[in-house]
Structure 1
Amino acid sequence: MQVVLPKIENHLDSLAWGASDQEKGEVFTSPKIVNFMLNTSGIANAISSKSARILEPSCGQGEFVIAIAKLLVVNIKDNREHYSLDFIKDLVRAFDISAENIAIAKQKASEVLKQVLMDEKADAIVEHWFYHCDFLLTEFSTYFSHIIGNPPYVRIENIPQPLLSVYRSRYHTMKERADLYIAFFQKCLELLEEKGILSFICTDRWTKNSYGSSLRKFISANYQLDLYVDLYGQSAFQSDVLTYPAITQISKQKHRSTKILHNPELDSELSESVYLMLSGQDKYSDKLTERKDIINDGKPWLFGVADELNLIKRLEKDFPTMEETGCKVYIGAATGNNKVYIVGDDVVLEPSRKVPLVTATDIRTGILVPSNKFIVNTYDEHGVVELTDFPMLERYLTQYQDVLQKRHVAKKSPNYWFKTIDRVYPERASKEKLLIPDIKSKLTTVYDSGHYHPNNSIYYICSSHWSLRALQGVLISGIGQLFVENYSTKVAGGNLRFQAQHLRRICLPRWEDVDSDLATALSEAAISNDIEKSIILTSKLYNLNEQERQLLG
């Protein structure tokens, strides 16, 4: 099995990153998860096959390969003649950019193999198994029957710029703010042989977020989603992470149906049952849900309850999206340094340079409790201001110049080292709006009659047609929660992300089609926070039947 290493200049960039203390997405998988994936992917049964070729593209300290070595040891003890040295050497290929990780993985895997093999043979095997290089820049002369692993979760701002440019030029699915694991998915899928199987554990965000749409489309066109296991609240890794992971198993064959497990108790009995179903040896398990409608071009993958999904599809068919009705969704301003840019009355600036601010903390109870803070405004209607035009602002920001110049936004625009990341819009502060905190378990909407500018912990809705009080009455009914819960992924604590891309999916009647009495009643329900009344009124608005109404609460 030939491996062509990357061009030396790119390779050196990768290895320098691997040797550095920079973030590389190193989160190691727990043994329970490793064993489950080895079983459901069929690797545990395939390692005796002469045609098996197993790839681990980002091996870390070797959790998956060490587990494969342990399976081999058991098999060799039972049938030593079947396992020639050449066969074992060609069975596995594993990669990592960290020399330290590779050394640890080799040593651990070799120790396992030495239970049944001479020392020199075990050492020779691991030398063939492990490669210290950049998998994403490596060329292969063969395809693989099985690919398994935990691809690195690295945000684009933490990828060295020269490498990011190379990765993006090679991997078309790495669009928008796609993290590094997206490229690992694409390359690994491209390396699958016909009917080959990929099993990854990583964050579930790409299955619904906009940056995952190209990868979802790529999978839809060429592959079958065999299995999806959400692991909300489980300890899938050897250290804590902020996102919830999922196991995604994909094969290179025509799409049929997807087996789904929601937060299961993982054990050997379940993994064996799943494997038998996926391999066609068993036809039923009461622990699995089977769906044929998950994959649809680049659209988000929705794994929710069938009744909820049917209602969402019906509403999407019958009504326009929120933005199509004249409701605009925005995110508040990110500053790049809240300690400098969020100030109180004690900081004296030109009046136009301080805009009253609201943050998620101010509305966490569902009621706006002003903190009497302001956001420093470094923009006017023409763009970034000239500091010399505002002596008080200049004097204030100059005392923090050293720390502000270290920000990424300042390095990109050195002449405007003092600006906030996002533009501040005083005209939006003076507009009435609905404020929605980004991270919450339940949708919270707070009305602002036109006093505050949100920071980036809040998304907010302004409208040119809909009464915002009436809209609030609709959203608190549960209809907003229904859409976001199915289109968003969960983060630490079981919370949802109420991001613009999810809020924009909410469907509404056009304002001119809403009965005036119903609109007034919705507004009154919002003002009094009468949830039961809002459910009844929203059911009339969407013409929900009794079964559909019950989904709102």
Structure 2
Amino acid sequence: MDAVTDRTGAVVLGAVFTRRWIADLVLDLAGYLPTDRLATGVAIEPACGPGTFVASMAERLLESCRHHGDDIAQAVDAIVAVDIDSGAVAGSRDLVVERLTHHGVPTHTARTLARSWVRQGDFLDIAADLPTANWIVGNPPYVRIENIDRDALHRYRARWSTMTGRADIYVGFIEASLDLLSPSGRLAFICADRWMRNQYGTKLREKVTGSFAVEACIVLHEVDAFEEKVAAYPAITVIRPGPQGSALVAEAADGFDEQTARGLARLFTDGDLSARSVGPPLSASWTSQWFTDGSTSWPTGTPQELTLLSTLERSFRTLEQAGVSIGVGAATGADAVYITGQPTGVEPSRLLRSVSAREAGGDTIAWEGRFLVNPWDEDGLVELDDYPGLRSYLEAHRPRLLERHVARQPNAAWWRTIDRVKPDVARANKLLVPDLKSRIHPVLDSGEYYPMHSLAYLTSDTWDLSVLGGLLMSDIANLFVSAYSVRMATGRLRVSAQYLRRIHLPDYDLLDPEMRAALARAFAARDIPAASTLARQAYGLSP
């Protein structure tokens, strides 16, 4: 099989080796247990590396055979371990032989089994020819798209539909493995969890939510799970075919060790829905339902936060379903031209008072006296001949405006802004929400300003906007945004429209008048603790 090479022809293995006790945890979570009759099933490891997983699998299979009276020598098809690297294949076989002979298996039998179980090949090329599996476990390779040979990448993408965009190679490994699972099978991988968050994981998330169920997600960002330090964000994910049910969500901190891992495995196996943790290095909780929308990123947070999010999303309607409309301020492509404090000679009807995220960043809007020079009306783009002052102003800046992509399109009007400006937005009562803040920061605009592209705006015919503002200030509303949002290096969140849409709200009609009045007062006073306390009551949560 062809090796994965970079664009210089050098072999790229993406090999990061898993500690043995972590491999044992993965096997436990996969249900590959000696108490079961392992010889009658098939276990697959798609990238065996030096043999950490397959050697432990061999020991468990041997223990199972002795427990159930099966002959290990006949279990030649019970394990399939693959690796593209011939050196890794040889090392894995040697380790399997060492482990089996240590436990009393004759050397010739151990060597026969090792040769049968461990084979060389490119898993993404041969997966379709492998048997259906009861268990698929391991640590798939982590190879970035720019380090894969173009021919190999084209071949992989032609076979594995989830490898779109900038998907790393492990995305293809997960897809191929899911396709090999038997109806009662289970996949348990330790790998980067970026596919749950990033755009490139969309197709894989959709595949999982469409036909599979996430049974566990164990975040190991602070754990030394590998034999060497890696700049990855590892998690153990357990997936099975079938409808989604409850899921164990856990986050391991520094200090997570082999003993704690055994406790975590017991928690998962026992399925105790009342359990909340297994020790200080580990926070764990059960969600009654995993997140079922694969088209958007899956959230991050503590296990307790994810459990709460899952409950809220099932119990309440989204912001838009609850009667709130969300828009985004206009992008011009040339703010220095269109947004100005001195629009000399431009007709007053062509000017809208504009406000930026900076001006909406305080307790109230602090307008700095700038206007949006508006080439649109209710019917569309205006004719410049109808507005000589506007024409003169824009003609003076025509070279700059023609540099924009939007102005270079066929039949494009060079004076247009990128986004259409809707004058009725300026006149509407609305909440303005700046992007790039440490939390949601709604500010009320009583129909005076036009928001620019760094602002989202919320309008509603159902909600009193001061009541809505109070809820949006609360810790509950911010939980939604912080769980789904991209966090910048500065620690600020992207509080953009796509993340605001993830907020779920109680029905306005079900809030009693006293609750509404109290939320409005908290909003007016910018009292976040009071808003958070009231929000918990509005959502029916305990303190």
| Smaller-chain TM-score bracket | 0.5 to 0.7
State the structure with bigger RCO (CA 8 A, min sep 6), 1 or 2.
Answer: 1
**Among residues 504, 507, 526, which one is paired with 2:505 in the alignment?**
507
1:218 to 192, 205, 210: 210
Question: Which residue is 2:179 aligned to?
Answer: 190
Aligned to 1:41: 30
Counterpart in 2 of 1:227? 216
Aligned-partner Cα distance in 2 for 1:151–1:410: 45
Amino acid at match of 1:423: D
Give the alignment's TM-score, normalised by structure 1.
0.61
**What CA deviation, in whole Å up to 9, does each residue of 1:104-145 have, x standing for no partner?**
xx4456456567799xx99x979974545855x963342234
Which of the residues 456, 478, 481 maps onto 2:478?
481
Q: Alignment partner of 2:325: what SS?
A: strand
AA aligned to 2:460 is S
Q: Distance in 2 between matches of 1:211 and 1:526?
A: 37
- Alignment of structure 1 residues 20-35 onto 2, 5 Å: none
Q: 1:439 to 1:127 in 2, by over 3 A?
A: farther
Q: Hey, what does 1:358 align to over in structure 2? A: 356
CA contact (8 A) 1:489 1:497 kept: yes
| Residue aligned with 2:135, SS | strand
Counterpart of 1:270 in structure 2 is 260
Deviation at 1:256, TM superposition (A): 6.6
TM-superposed CA distance for 1:460, in Å, is: 3.1
Letter in 2 for 1:251: R
Counterpart among 393, 396, 403 of residue 400 in structure 2 = 396
Q: How does 1:108-127 map to 2 (within 5 A)?
A: 110=90
In the alignment, what sits opposite 1:67?
52
User: Offset at 1:249?
Assistant: 0.6
* C-alpha spacing 1:308/1:259, structure 2 compared with 1 (3 Å): closer
Change (3 A) 1:477 1:255: closer
Amino acid at match of 1:329: I
Unaligned runs of 5+ in 1: 6-10, 95-101
Alpha carbons of structure 1 residues 394 and 182: separation in structure 2 relative to 1, 3 Å: farther
| Alignment CA distance shift 1:254-1:497 (3 Å) | same
Between the aligned partners of 1:353 and 1:167, the Cα distance in structure 2 is 51
Structure richer in helix, relative to its length: 1
Q: Does 1:304 align with 2:304?
A: yes
Aligned equivalents of 1:25, 1:365: Cα separation in 2: 51
Which residue is equivalent to 2:7? 19
Partner of 1:468: 465
Equivalent position to 1:323, from 317, 320, 324: 320
Contact 1:350 / 1:393 at 8 angstroms: preserved in 2? no
Give the secondary-structure state (helix, strand or coil) at the position aligned to 1:91. Answer: strand
Change (3 A) 1:54 1:535: closer
In structure 2, the partner of 1:8 is: none
Aligned equivalent of 2:523? 526
Corresponding position of 2:421: 425
* Separation in structure 2 between the aligned mates of residue 492 and residue 38 of structure 1, nearest angstrom: 36
Residues 305-358 of structure 1: CA deviation (Å, up to 9, x unaligned): 699469737962xxx5432443112345678xx8x6567759989966998452
Where 1:226 maps in the other structure, the secondary structure is strand
Name whichever of 31-40 and 381-390 sits farther off: 381-390
**Which one of 425, 446, 451 corresponds to residue 453 of structure 1?**
451
The CA distance in 2 between the partners of 1:27 and 1:362, in whole Å, is 50
Taking structure 2 as the reference length, the TM-score comes to 0.62
SS at match of 1:139: helix
| Cα RMSD (Å) | 6.4
Q: Which amino acid aligns with 1:453?
A: P
Could you tell me how far apart the structure 2 residues matched to 1:181 and 1:206 are? 12
Q: Distance in 2 between matches of 1:164 and 1:385?
A: 48
Q: Deviations over 1:35-54 (max 9, x none)?
A: 75355436697999585442
Decide whether aligned partners of structure 1 residues 426 and 482 sit closer, same or farther in structure 2, where only a CA change above 3 A counts: same
After TM superposition, give the deviation of residue 191 of structure 1 in Å: 0.9
Equivalent-residue separation in structure 2 for 1:460 and 1:69 (angstroms) = 55
Distance 1:27 1:356 in 2: 53
Match of 1:293 among 288, 294, 299: 288
Show CA shifts across 1:418-449 (max 9, x none): 89996253533554432334555533323345
